[in-house]
Chains A and B, each alone.
Chain A
Amino acid sequence: MIAFIQRRIFSASLLLGGMLTLIFFAAHLTPGDPVNVFLSPNVPQNVANELRHQFGLDQNIVLQFGQWVRNALTGNLGISFAYRRPVLEVIAAVLPNTAVLAITAIVFELVLGLFFAAVAVRRHNSIVDTMIRNAALVVSTQPTFWVGLLLLAMFSFAFGLLPSSQMHSLGAESFSFGANLFDVGKHLVLPACTIAIPGSGAICLYFRQSLLKVRREEYMTYAHSVGLSNWALFVYYELPNALPPVISILGLEIGTLLSGAIVTETLFAWPGMGRLTVLALSARDYPLIMGCTLVSGVFVVVANMIADLLYGTVDPRVRMT
């Protein structure tokens, strides 16, 4: 088990290193001067050159990379060009928002997906089963921006039920804790549903398939013959055996979500990592780009690892690889 973990951590760090190198050189070699972005082009050249010098952009690119790595290892991710604050600070301000959105979305997905899958399996091969299966199929293939648009049009524009953007209402800092929670919750519903609805379709399908497979196993017949109730069967036998594939998918997904669901965040103006990354990319804000990549890379890799580990715990056969 330990060896398994060690192996995984080793490949994860290699992966992270490779990704950072790739992104660094890709970002720097892309046309578009970060200095131009926030200087008007008619400012004299010496000002632009001074800025470039201050940002360290006039050095050799490999040297710049070395510098960045050295700094990063000590925890200093540099100063963002666009925000003029330490990158860590900028990301830290924004990360909790993404985390909240991601976790809520995952919870919604799980609940919806598991629920409908269980219902479908319970009434296997009936009309309900077919309906749920087809609905899940249709729902899981909807593009996120489409779902978001429809939700916006229905709930926000047409009926004014839910707020259409951002995270807090006005004057939120003067709210009590409870009111604040409620307010954030109100803003959270639409974006979380936008992510959760297509995801829940996929989870429903996977879980249903998994459950069906488990049902056919011999130990299920045995457990049933022993006289366990339906509920006990479900909780103690079906669920643990059917969950692993779902967990590995969820693991992947939470990693991706934590690096920022770009389309959803753009549509709902949610101040999260996705929007920050897009802003950094268009502003060619190299320190911020690298910071965002590092953070999202870490999340994706860690999530993968945890998913693998969980799978390994539950299913010892996997540990061999």
Chain B
Amino acid sequence: MNKRFLSVWRVIGGQRPASVVLAVVFILFSLWRWKVILMSCVSLLLVLLVFVGGGTNISQCLRPGLFEYWLAAFVWMLMAFLFGKRYAKILLGSGNNMSGGSGCSEPANEEGARFGHPAVLVLLSYVFVAMMAPLLAPHDPTAQGDLRTTRLLKPLESRVTIGKTPLIEKDGPEMTSAFVPRMLEHVNGYLLQLKNPYAHHDAPMPGALNEHDRRVEVFFLGTDDLGRDVFSRVIYGLRISVLIGTLSVACSILIASLVGFVAGIQGGWIDHVLMRITDLFIAVPSLFLVISLVAFFGNSTTLLVLVLGTTGWMGVARIIRGEVAILNEREFISASRLLGRSSLQIVRDHMIPNLMPAIVVAMVLQLGNVILAEAALSFLGLGIQPPTPSLGNMIGESLPYLRSAWWVGIFPGIILSALVVQANLVGERLQNTGRNRA
């Protein structure tokens, strides 16, 4: 018994520290927020059931506020599965596999090494944290406390508050028919209720002194100017940054690929014209375009994604065009052409696989740039509009409180820097791996 325990321990210790830490954190967080996680998973499963069973009132269940819980639940289950798979294998098989124990942690193939690298793990964990935001954030990011008592609290400061009965009535009449829909209603109601703000007051309210409503709220990273929890806002801000980042990068890559491939393959004057257009876009200061577009179309997330997408594709397009031009000269491409393949097929079958590494690297590096650009725009007031939290606009809003309430600005700044650094580290790592292989 003892020996088995020790061997398990040694095996686990042989793992890369990053993944162990992550696993431990994951378990702790799951235990802390078990109720929300359980409810979200149940909600997701029940909705799927209802959907499949073609049951009652599917539209009733599809509230916009619930989608993020379902996504978060899905991601949680995925993570639990991944961790479980890895550690279950170890725990179950560890008694016999001492020598193979350390081997388990370092799979021979390069794929595993790549994914096992701390930088990639950390980046992936950022993404997962971002997607699990509703589960992880203890408070709603836009919930303001009583302005007179909850503004600008220091980190780890707590407030004893007495909950006032929420003004909103319970959601709809109870459906008495089937168990599943009723359960679903209940669960959905609980989840949506989490998003409803309470009005808390320090002083006891006459007539509402329900002792169960008394709660101690701890704000891990303090509160901001409007009494909102900084920790929750940072997590949601991370989510927005990751979301906008990936969408913009996808947009950029699309445009860049189009331009790059066409220019590279066709050559001649089309190539020339496209490259001049690319230079034009590089020369025009993006701020002009952003201000004009924002004044025209108003501020919205779609616009932001478009703007960031259209101002970041140039570098990648140049790289793609260069590589395609080089590849075009290679014999196997000429051979394909002789065989009668069309350009489209050549691109699809030969060029893209060869360029994939370069494109992926460019994507990851561009992610860092786009996140920075979005932060700068939000800082200047042109990006994501408050009260939706974004790392950039949180820093911008914290300027007046730099001296007095430093935590409002420092934490988003640290997370932002860390995110961008991770993205760049991963990008560089991929680049090196690619280069070593080639």
Contact flag (A, B; Cβ within 8 A): yes
Closest to A27 in B: B292
0 or 1 for each of A141-154: is its CB under 8 Å from B? (1 = yes): 11111100100110
Closest to A301 in B: B283
Q: How far is the CB of B52 from chain A (nearest CB, A)?
A: 46
Q: Please tell me if B175 contacts chain A, counting CB pairs below 8 Å.
A: no
Q: Is the beta-carbon distance between A137 and B421 smaller than 8 angstroms?
A: yes
Q: How far is the CA of A15 from the CA of B273 in the complex (A)?
A: 11
Number of interface residues of B (CB under 8 A): 33
Q: How far is the CB of B276 from chain A (nearest CB, A)?
A: 6
A174-206 CB contacts (< 8 Å) to partner B: none
Q: Is the beta-carbon distance between A19 and B428 smaller than 8 angstroms?
A: no
Q: Is the beta-carbon distance between A30 and B276 smaller than 8 angstroms?
A: no
Q: Is the beta-carbon distance between A22 and B284 smaller than 8 angstroms?
A: yes
Q: Is the beta-carbon distance between B295 and A32 smaller than 8 angstroms?
A: yes
Q: Is the beta-carbon distance between A137 and B417 smaller than 8 angstroms?
A: no
**Given known contacts A30-B296, A296-B285, is B417 in contact with A142 (CB within 8 Å)?**
yes
Closest to A281 in B: B291
Closest to A150 in B: B413
Report chain A residues within 8 Å CB of B420.
141-143
**Given known contacts A15-B280, A30-B292, A157-B402, is B285 in contact with A259 (CB within 8 Å)?**
yes
Of B284, B295, B372, the residue contacting A143 (CB under 8 A) is B372
Q: How far is the CA of A94 from the CA of B292 in the complex (A)?
A: 24
Q: How far is the CA of A119 from the CA of B429 in the complex (A)?
A: 23
Closest to B413 in A: A146
Q: Please tell me if A167 contacts chain B, counting CB pairs below 8 Å.
A: no
Q: Is the beta-carbon distance between A281 and B288 smaller than 8 angstroms?
A: yes
Q: Is the beta-carbon distance between B276 and A11 smaller than 8 angstroms?
A: yes
Q: Please tell me if A300 contacts chain B, counting CB pairs below 8 Å.
A: yes
Q: How far is the CA of A11 from the CA of B296 in the complex (A)?
A: 31
Q: How far is the CB of B431 from chain A (nearest CB, A)?
A: 11
A113-154 CB contacts (< 8 Å) to partner B: 137-138, 140-146, 149, 152-153
0 or 1 for each of B391-417: is its CB under 8 Å from A? (1 = yes): 000010001001100100100010011
Report chain B residues within 8 Å CB of A23.
284, 288
Report chain A residues within 8 Å CB of B402.
149, 152-153, 157
Q: Which of the four size classes fits the interface of chain A?
A: 35 or more
Closest to B379 in A: A145
Q: Please tell me if B368 contacts chain A, counting CB pairs below 8 Å.
A: yes
0 or 1 for each of A1-44: is its CB under 8 Å from B? (1 = yes): 00000000001001110110011001101111000000000000
Q: Is the beta-carbon distance between B416 and A143 smaller than 8 angstroms?
A: yes
Q: How far is the CB of A7 from chain B (nearest CB, A)?
A: 10
Summarize A's interface: helix, strand, loop or mixed: helix
Q: How far is the CA of A280 from the CA of B417 in the complex (A)?
A: 31
Report chain B residues within 8 Å CB of A141.
368, 372, 417, 420-421, 424
Q: How far is the CA of A281 from the CA of B402 in the complex (A)?
A: 28
Q: Please tell me if A262 contacts chain B, counting CB pairs below 8 Å.
A: yes
**Given known contacts A19-B284, A26-B289, A143-B416, is B380 in contact with A263 (CB within 8 Å)?**
yes
Of B280, B288, B376, B406, the residue contacting A263 (CB under 8 A) is B376
Q: Is the beta-carbon distance between A146 and B279 smaller than 8 angstroms?
A: no
Q: How far is the CB of A30 from chain B (nearest CB, A)?
A: 5
Q: Is the beta-carbon distance between A138 and B417 smaller than 8 angstroms?
A: yes
Report chain A residues within 8 Å CB of B292.
26-27, 29-30
Q: How far is the CB of B71 from chain A (nearest CB, A)?
A: 28
0 or 1 for each of A241-278: is its CB under 8 Å from B? (1 = yes): 00000000000000010010011001000000000011
Report chain B residues within 8 Å CB of A262.
287, 380
Of B280, B291, B380, the residue contacting A18 (CB under 8 A) is B280
Report chain B residues within 8 Å CB of A14.
276
**Given known contacts A145-B379, A146-B416, is B288 in contact with A26 (CB within 8 Å)?**
yes
Q: How far is the CB of A311 from chain B (nearest CB, A)?
A: 15
Q: How far is the CB of B315 from chain A (nearest CB, A)?
A: 11
Closest to B412 in A: A146
Of B288, B291, B425, the residue contacting A137 (CB under 8 A) is B425
Closest to A300 in B: B283
Report chain B residues within 8 Å CB of A266.
380
**Given known contacts A19-B280, A281-B288, is B416 in contact with A137 (CB within 8 Å)?**
no
Of B296, B403, B425, the residue contacting A157 (CB under 8 A) is B403
Q: How far is the CB of A61 from chain B (nearest CB, A)?
A: 15
Report chain A residues within 8 Å CB of B279.
11, 15, 304
0 or 1 for each of B359-393: is its CB under 8 Å from A? (1 = yes): 00000000010001001100110000000000000
Seen from chain A, the residues whose Cβ lies within 8 Å of a Cβ on chain B are 11, 14-16, 18-19, 22-23, 26-27, 29-32, 137-138, 140-146, 149, 152-153, 157, 256, 259, 262-263, 266, 277-278, 281-282, 289, 293, 296-297, 300-301, 304
Given A19-B283, A149-B402, 8 other A-B residues pairs in contact with their CB atoms under 8 A: A15-B279, A22-B280, A27-B288, A137-B421, A140-B424, A157-B402, A256-B285, A293-B288
The 4 A-B pairs at the shortest CB distance, nearest first, are namely: A141-B420, A26-B292, A30-B292, A30-B295
